[in-house]
Amino acid sequence: MTKLSVNINKIATLRNARGGNIPDVLKLALDCELFGAQGITVHPRPDERHIRYDDVKNLKPILTTEFNIEGNPIKSFVNLVLEILPAQVTLVPDAENAITSNAGWNTKANKGFLQDVIGKFKENGIRTSIFVDADEEMIYHAKETGTDRVELYTESYANQYFKDRKMAISPFVRASNAANELALGINAGHDLNLDNLKYFNENIPGLLEVSIGHALICDALYFGLQNTIQMYRGLLNIY
């Protein structure tokens, strides 16, 4: 069964736009769990333009589902993760000025660096995942970093879905087959939504978890948060 982790960054973005504490990020995270999320994902960035480091610290003691912290493993991020000790850390090579994540790791060129960082996390009992493009070579080199999982960067799939969904998903099927052969767990995220999630889930063998934020929060404006989470669960066959 594929688990649904809800990324709450956009909730924090809305709060930060006005100042104060509306909406309450901590309460909304608990509501997501109550409504059926099987994990909470956050992606703190150095400028704290959405989730803040203090949010991460305050979330850890109150969450009851899996806590996944994403980010570029700069020193401050590594220190935060080692302080919080989440269930999972997902390493993303996002530039400081990037609006959102826009590429996976070159696991061959960055293998030594990733081995060192992942080693620190695994010494502290944290499951690790690496954000990668649907590229079999990058999957093979990811295995050598010592990571537990890879997270497939699905923007290209989402962009091509309505044009030719079979073509769009084909590199992801190949990448997932490679990961399964190497005994790497498979996560996925970025632009997955109510239109394209079901097909992706049905065609990716061994998919363990999807992390969805922007689309889910946007859908909640129309359908309500509780109903939206249930809709996404339905697409993943979570009943």
Residue 207 confidence (pLDDT) above 60: yes
Copy the structure tokens of residue 167. Answer: 């073509």
**Residue 133 contacts residue 103 (beta carbons within 8 Å):** yes
Q: Which domains does the chain have, with CATH numbers?
A: 3-235 (3.20.20.70)
Alpha-carbon Rg for the chain, nearest whole angstrom, is 17
Q: Give the whole-angstrom CA distance, residue 30 versus residue 173.
A: 34
Copy the structure tokens of residue 52. Answer: 């803040």
pLDDT for the residue numbered 239: 75
Looking at every residue in the chain, the average pLDDT score rounds to 95
pLDDT for the residue numbered 9: 97
Task: Tell me the percentage of the chain whose pLDDT exceeds 90.
Answer: 93
| Active site positions, annotated | 43, 70, 190
Copy the structure tokens of residue 157. Answer: 């799939």
pLDDT for the residue numbered 238: 85
Copy the structure tokens of residue 115. Answer: 């081995």
Residue 58 confidence (pLDDT) above 90: yes
Q: For residue 14, give the 3-state DSSP assignment.
A: helix
pLDDT band at residue 96 using 50, 70 and 90 as cut-offs: low
pLDDT for the residue numbered 103: 78
Residues in a beta bridge with 189: 153, 211
Residue 41 confidence (pLDDT) above 80: yes
Q: Give the whole-angstrom CA distance, residue 118 versus residue 141.
A: 14
Model confidence pLDDT, tens digit, residues 78-91: 999 999 999 999 99
The average pLDDT across 125-131 equals 97
